[in-house]
Structure 1
Amino acid sequence: MLLHQLGNLDAAEPLSRAKLDSCRRTLGDRHPDTITAIDTHSQLLADLGKLGEALPLKRESLAEKRRTLGHKHPDTLLSVNNLAVLLNDLGRQTGDSRMLREAEPLKREALAGCREVLGNRHPHTLASVANLADMLMQLAPAEPRALLEAEPLCREALAGSREVLGDSHPDTLKSVGMLAALLVEQAHHAKPKSKVRKGKLEECEPLYREAITGFGNLCGKYHPTTNSYVNEHARVLLDMGRGEEAEKKLRELMSGLRASLGDSHPETLMIITHLAGLLRAQMKLAEAEPLAREVLGTWRELEATAKVPRNTLTSINILAELLHSQGKHKEAEPLCREVLAGFTACVGPEHPFTVSAVENLSAVLRKLGKDNEADDLFAKYQLKSHMPGIGEEEESRIQDAD
């Protein structure tokens, strides 16, 4: 639909839904035009972020294509891949690992089919290679073997995209960024001062530079995608011991975003937050604190009427951590209480965000000599053992760095 193509998604949705309803009513659920309408509407819903609504439509489309076209038809393989991508995104959004488990065999099926039908260097095959690699990287925290399997796929996707699509194609640049991210993960799994860690970081650093330049030319210097790669590059530079260079990059980006988008734009606030985190990692706590206060103040205004002020709660937590790290425990305490109350109300007492908030408030209470209240807090939330909260984690990181 033209509105969809022009990016007017909200206006396109009711028209797309009406067309699908009309096709079902006049042609039946299995007519090719109905299946096309299902594909169009499900993708529109996915683009709108309505992943849960899109899921049954993606399933319906795939089932019908398997029945009428066969398992190896290019349109069927495309639907297999699209369903897998949706499950992957839904799993990422909800934190439901079952979605990733369901997506994995679908992505493997799509890749095997594309290799057989289209060949290894077809753009759809390369996209399937990249999609499987991306999913494996998401599985890596629970399954360490996933990183080992993902690496050759990342390298294949990048080499193939350079050859078939060219260095400046968006899919090539995505593959550049994905390989860089994989190398960073491998570096973090290696021993702190090992040659393996050093080698992985040295390989990924120029890849991030390439991604920044490429997406800057393609999307714009201050586009969210470009910004995310600048931030990732800064983190790598910090890991390489080049903290001053990393700080300079984020300060330059922050200044540019303030000038182009304004102080209150979410992209600006995100980069300010990242800069505060980088300063904290370098123990420049006094410089990080005013940035964290600025971000919190702005998010309080922007989310004043939000039912789930997640950015506000996250910003409160960041400021509380900074205060705690500076020994300002009394000032951190009410902030930690606010975070705990907020996450308990928004996502429930068993959510990882809430559990982390319990641990952080407990750490602050113990620093203030309120051990009994900290123990009662753990009992209330039925946590079986004391976990390190803010402060203790910071101290352990500093000791590891030493």
Structure 2
Amino acid sequence: MSKLINSIKSFRRHGTKIILTLSLVVSFILPAYAQENLWKELNDKTTTLLQEKRYADAIKSGEDALKIAKETFPPGHISIAASMNLLGILYRTYTMYDEAEPLFNQALDIYRETNGTDHPTVAYVLQELAEMFLLQDNYAKAEPLYKQSLGIYENVSGQDNPGIVNILNRLGEIYQHQEKYADAILFYKRALAIEVEIFGNDHPDVASSMNNLATLYYHNGENTKAESLYKQALEIYENEYGADHPLVATILENMAVFYEGTGKKEAAKQLHDRAKKIYSNYRK
């Protein structure tokens, strides 16, 4: 009986300490958990505001999210990288390039250290950084970043991965601006082939790519290929939007330039007049 009494007394003495210790542990865990939830809410809110093109509100939310991330997670945590990349994208939309660039680079360092150099997260940030340089017409910096990103995606998901279409088009755009038409054609052709595989032959996105590729063929002196693609793109747009839609007029104008440049003056005039009429009617 005395042993039982002594055990009860001991629990009363030491049990109180145990309960206090557990209370302290819980008091530290709950705020950290709440902080993580707060970061996630802010990050999700920032993403939504970006999608809604409410950029000023998104920047404020993104700055708050990054601040909470740095307070909540250990240095080099991927959640910090995620907030850095998102805020970098937002700064880029406001042409705040000096603020955006270090955030992209820091996010890259974290993702490379955590996930490895060939991870899709690295490719994603490389692509966003390249986009920033492209917006500044800095092709010398944009091109290698796009190529690094492309290489990672190809290694991970294959050469026909739908996720690389935008990169292929961007590289084509860079070479087109530099008048390296043969190089540009290679990338635009790859992008078009993937889009046809995804959407089929009659999708408006396919028509847009055909239009771009036709213009490159024209500049590269491949006129038969150019004319064929212009006609295919025009037919798709007319079937999708009707004969009097502004997108139809866009292709008509490109075709008019093509026919003018290849000596078909009358055909060029007819297409130009038709495009002009569409634009005029659309503005009424």
* TM band (smaller chain): 0.5 to 0.7
Partner of 2:35: 122
Partner of 1:9: none
Runs of 4+ displaced beyond 6 Å: 327-330
Partner of 1:232: 128
TM-score, reference length from structure 1: 0.50
2:256 equivalent to 1:358: no
Which structure carries more helix by proportion? 2
Partner of 1:152: 60
Deviation at 1:170, TM superposition (A): 4.1
Q: Which amino acid aligns with 1:123?
A: E
Q: What are the equivalent positions in structure 2 for 1:2-401 lying under 5 Å apart?
A: 122-140=35-53, 146-187=54-95, 200-217=96-113, 221-240=117-136, 242-297=138-193, 299-300=195-196, 302-303=197-198, 306=200, 309=203, 312-323=206-217, 331-345=225-239, 348-349=241-242, 355-368=246-259, 369=265, 370-376=268-274, 379=277, 383-384=281-282
Relative to structure 1, is the Cα distance of residues 312 and 359 closer, same or farther in structure 2, using a 3 angstrom cutoff? closer
| Rg (Cα) greater in structure | 2
In structure 2, C-alpha distance between the alignment counterparts of 1:275 and 1:315, rounded to whole Å: 14
Relative to structure 1, is the Cα distance of residues 339 and 221 closer, same or farther in structure 2, using a 3 angstrom cutoff? farther
Deviation at 1:217, TM superposition (A): 5.0
Deviation at 1:236, TM superposition (A): 2.0
In structure 2, C-alpha distance between the alignment counterparts of 1:373 and 1:240, rounded to whole Å: 34
Deviation at 1:164, TM superposition (A): 0.9
Relative to structure 1, is the Cα distance of residues 329 and 358 closer, same or farther in structure 2, using a 3 angstrom cutoff? farther
Deviation at 1:179, TM superposition (A): 0.9
- 1:80-120: CA deviation from partner (whole Å, max 9, x where unpaired): xxxxxxxxxxxxxxxxxxxxxxxxxxxxxxxxxxxxxx99x
Higher RCO, 1 or 2 (CA under 8 Å, sep at least 6)?
2
Relative to structure 1, is the Cα distance of residues 137 and 251 closer, same or farther in structure 2, using a 3 angstrom cutoff? closer
In structure 2, C-alpha distance between the alignment counterparts of 1:282 and 1:156, rounded to whole Å: 40
Q: Which amino acid aligns with 2:250?
A: E
- 1:161-180: CA deviation from partner (whole Å, max 9, x where unpaired): 12113444444322111111
Tell me the SS of whatever aligns to 1:214.
helix
Tell me the SS of whatever aligns to 1:122.
helix
Tell me the SS of whatever aligns to 1:263.
coil
Tell me the SS of whatever aligns to 1:150.
helix
Please say if residues 218 and 258 of structure 2, whose CA atoms lie closer than 8 Å, have aligned partners that are also in contact.
Answer: no
Structure 1: give runs of 5+ residues left out of the alignment: 1-117, 141-145, 188-199, 386-402
Question: What is the aligned-residue identity percentage?
Answer: 19
Structure 2: give runs of 5+ residues left out of the alignment: 1-30, 260-264
Relative to structure 1, is the Cα distance of residues 321 and 367 closer, same or farther in structure 2, using a 3 angstrom cutoff? closer
Relative to structure 1, is the Cα distance of residues 185 and 303 closer, same or farther in structure 2, using a 3 angstrom cutoff? closer
In structure 1, C-alpha distance between the alignment counterparts of 2:88 and 2:60, rounded to whole Å: 13
- 1:300-338: CA deviation from partner (whole Å, max 9, x where unpaired): 4x348x486566444323313434566767643432332
Deviation at 1:185, TM superposition (A): 0.8
Tell me the SS of whatever aligns to 1:319.
helix
Please say if residues 188 and 209 of structure 2, whose CA atoms lie closer than 8 Å, have aligned partners that are also in contact.
Answer: yes
Relative to structure 1, is the Cα distance of residues 311 and 376 closer, same or farther in structure 2, using a 3 angstrom cutoff? closer
Tell me the SS of whatever aligns to 2:282.
coil
In structure 1, C-alpha distance between the alignment counterparts of 2:232 and 2:279, rounded to whole Å: 16
Deviation at 1:250, TM superposition (A): 2.4
- 1:152-211: CA deviation from partner (whole Å, max 9, x where unpaired): 221111111121134444443221111111111111xxxxxxxxxxxx212211211223
Please say if residues 161 and 167 of structure 1, whose CA atoms lie closer than 8 Å, have aligned partners that are also in contact.
Answer: no
